[in-house]
Structure 1
């Protein structure tokens, strides 16, 4: 495992736990060996994220901006280290448990909620 990722992740554990406490989520540490599904353009706002159960080599996290698409190539696998490089402000949400979603923008708007419908993969 990459020591750089371990250091970065451990630095953010406390902020992740605070977010979990604020939104009544159990803390569910992300497995740094698994991938996060991200849309190709994370520059649009707001940023959306949701956590499914882990499956295969995917952590269960899917993060996108702009309009949702059902296209097979809408999400690309990205490692945690590269997500942190692109969007470091998102790491604080990655401790939220399966079933949680978030919506955030650069102006400070944040919404976090539990969505039972995403707790099972179909």
Structure 2
């Protein structure tokens, strides 16, 4: 029996591949067993996301809204299933490759770009 995260990812695999094609990214399937770094104030718009390489128990995705903070506790680990419950509209970006970023809001604005500076952990 598949877990809920795997079922959700499979449902949206085509939309993830379409986003990758649209923005010239290789498709890089997210590891649903690892955590995402998220700022829990995701009610503000727009939503920001960026993908670093996998590091420890984090799959490389960092998601936030509102003002950026360099605080050590700005990002907290969250499982994919819980993040999808909070922001299901961003699942389509989770196939983007390492180095990609996105900025999106609930009114249809979307910007996706590659940022070489985030392709390695520092």
The TM-score bracket by the shorter chain reads over 0.9
Question: Equivalent residue for 2:72?
Answer: 72
Q: How large is the Cα RMSD of the aligned pairs?
A: 1.0
Provide the residue aligned with 1:24 in structure 2. Answer: 24
**TM-score normalised by L of structure 1:** 0.97
The residue aligned with 2:58 is 58
Partner of residue 6, structure 1 = 6
Q: How many residues align?
A: 122
1:116 alignment partner in structure 2: 116
C-alpha distance in 2, partners of 1:6/1:36?
15
- 1:76-91 aligned at under 5 Å gives the runs 76-91=76-91
Residue 19 of structure 2: SS of its match in structure 1?
helix
Deviation at 1:2, TM superposition (A): 5.2
**Structure 1 unmatched ranges of 5 or more:** none
CA distance in 2, matches of 1:59, 1:106: 25
Shift of residue 40, structure 1, vs aligned partner: 1.7
2-structure distance, mates of 1:40, 1:79: 12
So what's the TM-score if we normalise by structure 2? 0.97
In the alignment, structure 2 segments of 5+ residues that lack a partner are none
- 1:43 match: 43
Q: Give the Å deviation of 1:3.
A: 2.0
Q: Which runs of 4+ in 1 moved over 4 A?
A: none
Supply the distance in 1 between the matched residues of 2:68 and 2:6 (Cα, whole angstroms): 31
Q: Are residues 49 and 88 of structure 1, via their aligned partners in 2, closer, same or farther at CA, if it must alter by over 3 Å?
A: same
